[in-house]
């Protein structure tokens, strides 16, 4: 699933990391930092970003408030670290690997949608918090938008290619279509996993895949 082809997705750095605290120099330091990140994830998921207090995090990590600032400059920064730690799990093919040769485009789309939805499900609570932060803090809004735009652009290139091959509806604007279809899956995941709308995983994979394929008028040669 994590072959090199999918790794090259243009994932922008999550944020300007230049002002970050130096990484821990000692083993004890590394342990404390890790405890803080784990504690932060617990607290963020439990209380949300706004209601999470730094003291809750340090209490959960069984360390002092002062220690927090040894490793992180702010709540924002530790949140970024939490997100980053969750990244490898969320790393998914990003876009239907339409350029793949070994599989039909349709199969790639299905696999990609499934991977995305499953990863989303695993991290649903954190995703909700990320939505929250994105909407509250323009900096994170930008982070989030850059990421989804990276995917959308990649998708747009894929669609363009398929259009060139005559496999996809030539009438579609590839950029806007990519934006729309990616957004569709993301929104559905959010509605079901975060807000509690009802749908099974199979229904979601089937339907989104079919809507992609139908929507693009993909010729499944």
CB 208 within 8 A of CB 186: no
Q: Does 181 bind a copy of itself (CB under 8 A)?
A: yes
Q: Does 24 bind a copy of itself (CB under 8 A)?
A: no
As a whole number of angstroms, the distance between CA 47 and CA 164 comes to 49
C-beta of 8 vs 173, nearer to a copy of itself? 173
Task: Pick from 197, 219, 220, 221 the residue near a copy of itself by CB under 8 A.
Answer: 197
**Shortest separation between residue 147's beta carbon and DNA, angstroms:** 24
65 binds, among DNA, a copy of itself, none (CB under 5 to 8 A by kind): DNA
**Shortest separation between residue 92's beta carbon and DNA, angstroms:** 32
Q: Which residues neighbour 51 within 8 Å (Cβ) at sequence distance 6 or greater?
A: none
Write out the binding residues for a copy of itself, residues 55-114 only, by CB under 8 A.
none
217 binds, among a copy of itself, DNA, none (CB under 5 to 8 A by kind): a copy of itself
Count of positions on this chain that bind a copy of itself (CB under 8 A): 46
180 binds, among DNA, a copy of itself, none (CB under 5 to 8 A by kind): a copy of itself
**Shortest separation between residue 13's beta carbon and a copy of itself, angstroms:** 19
DSSP secondary structure, the chain, as one string: ---HHHHTS----SS--TTPPPPPSSHHHHHHHHHHHHHHHHHHHHHHHHH--HHHHHHHTTS-HHHHHHH-SSHHHHHHHHHHHHHHHH----S--TT-SSS-HHHHHHHHHHHHHHHHHHTHHHHHHHHHHHHH-HHHHHHHHHHHHHHHHHHHHHHHHHHHTT-S-TTS-HHHHHHHHHHHHHHHHIIIIIT-----HHHHHHHHHHHHHHHHT----
Q: Does 208 bind a copy of itself (CB under 8 A)?
A: yes
Structure tokens at 90: 């969320």
Q: Does 180 bind a copy of itself (CB under 8 A)?
A: yes
Binding site for DNA (CB under 7 A): 22, 24-26, 28-29, 31-32, 51-55, 63-70, 73-75
Q: Residues in the site for a copy of itself, rule: CB under 8 A?
A: 48, 50, 128, 131-132, 135-136, 141, 145, 148-149, 169, 171-173, 175-177, 179-181, 183-188, 190-192, 195-197, 199, 203-204, 206-208, 210-212, 214-217
């Amino acid at each position: 699933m994590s072959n090199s082809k999918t790794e090259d997705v243009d994932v922008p750095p999550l944020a300007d990391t230049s002002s970050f605290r130096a990484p821990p120099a000692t083993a004890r330091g590394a342990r404390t930092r890790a405890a803080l990140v784990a504690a932060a994830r617990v607290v963020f998921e439990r209380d949300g970003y706004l209601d999470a207090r730094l003291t809750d995090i340090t209490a959960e990590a069984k360390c002092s408030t002062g220690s927090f600032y040894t490793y992180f400059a702010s709540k924002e920064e530790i949140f970024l670290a939490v997100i980053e730690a969750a990244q490898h799990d969320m790393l998914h093919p990003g876009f239907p690997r339409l350029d793949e040769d070994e599989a039909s485009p349709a199969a790639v789309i299905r696999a990609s949608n499934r991977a995305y939805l499953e990863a989303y499900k695993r991290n649903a609570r954190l995703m909700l918090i990320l939505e929250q932060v994105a909407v509250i803090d323009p900096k994170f809004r930008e982070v989030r938008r850059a990421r989804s735009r990276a995917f959308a652009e990649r998708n747009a290139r894929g669609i363009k290619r398929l259009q060139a091959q005559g496999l996809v509806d030539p009438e579609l604007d590839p950029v806007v279509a990519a934006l729309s279809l990616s957004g569709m899956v993301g929104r559905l995941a959010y509605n079901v996993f975060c807000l509690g709308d009802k749908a099974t995983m199979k229904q979601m994979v089937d339907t989104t895949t079919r809507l992609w394929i139908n929507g693009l008028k993909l010729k499944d040669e």
